[in-house]
Amino acid sequence: MKNLVYIILGFVIGAALTYYFCPRPLEGTVVEIDNPTGTITILEATELSANWEKNNPKEIDSTIELDDNSKRKPMRSVMWSLKNIEDYIAFAEKESDSVGYTMTGLRVYLGNYGKNGKPGKKNRNTMFIVPTGHKKTDKASSLNVSFFGDADDDIPVDPLNDASGGASGYPPK
């Protein structure tokens, strides 16, 4: 009986010491996030935007024939909400998987609605996002030999478009 008391006392002391001395995650701690690869400074972005305006011919802007005959500055940027981007990424990952691809990234394309575009978008420029990745292959069923590396291709999933546009350069004025 005396040994049983010592065993129980040992468990209680061990549990108390474990509670006080084992590290626990602190509530409300801030996780530091490093800049992702490819970020540039605000100064570099400002310079890129200024170079766009300086190095692109004004003739491009003068050929835009608007539906309402109004004079507008050409679109210089597009904006999607964070929720819209997150929803699109979730959609694209699910759809990519269903068509047999592994999604590894996103590609942004420049486009133009042309003379038959929707009202308000006739001959207007746009950008759209397309998921990229590679076709899934079973390791046991095929020999995947690539001499040029594994380049990501566009995945046949509906692209994201219909963002809001801006006429000013970076930073917005």
At 112-123, the pLDDT tens digits run: 777 777 777 777
Do 67 and 122 form a contact (C-beta atoms < 8 A)? yes
Question: Residues 39, 41, 42, 43: is their CA dihedral positive or negative?
Answer: negative
- Number of other residues whose CB lies within 10 A of the CB of residue 43: 8
- Residues 77 and 125: their CA atoms lie apart, in Å, by 10
The first and second tokens of residue 136, run together, are 């899934």
Instruction: Tell me the pLDDT of the chain averaged across its residues.
Output: 78
- Residues 18 and 12: their CA atoms lie apart, in Å, by 10
The first and second tokens of residue 29, run together, are 């701690």
Domain segments of the chain as ranges: 39-137+151-164
Tell me the whole-structure pTM to 2 decimals. 0.66
Q: Encode pLDDT of 65-105 as tens digits.
A: 565 666 566 667 888 889 999 999 999 999 999 999 999 99
Q: Where does 25-167 have alpha helices with state H? A: 42-55, 59-62, 82-98
Instruction: Read off the amino acid at residue 64.
Output: I
Q: Higher confidence at residue 69 or residue 4?
A: 4
Model pLDDT, residue 105: 93
Q: What is the mean pLDDT of residues 123-127?
A: 78
Q: Higher confidence at residue 139 or residue 35?
A: 35
Model pLDDT, residue 103: 94
Question: In this structure, what is the dihedral angle of CA atoms 45, 48, 50, 53, given to the nearest 10 degrees?
Answer: -130
Task: Give every strand in the sheet of 125-135, ordered side by side.
Answer: 101-112, 125-135, 153-154
Strand partners, 127: 110
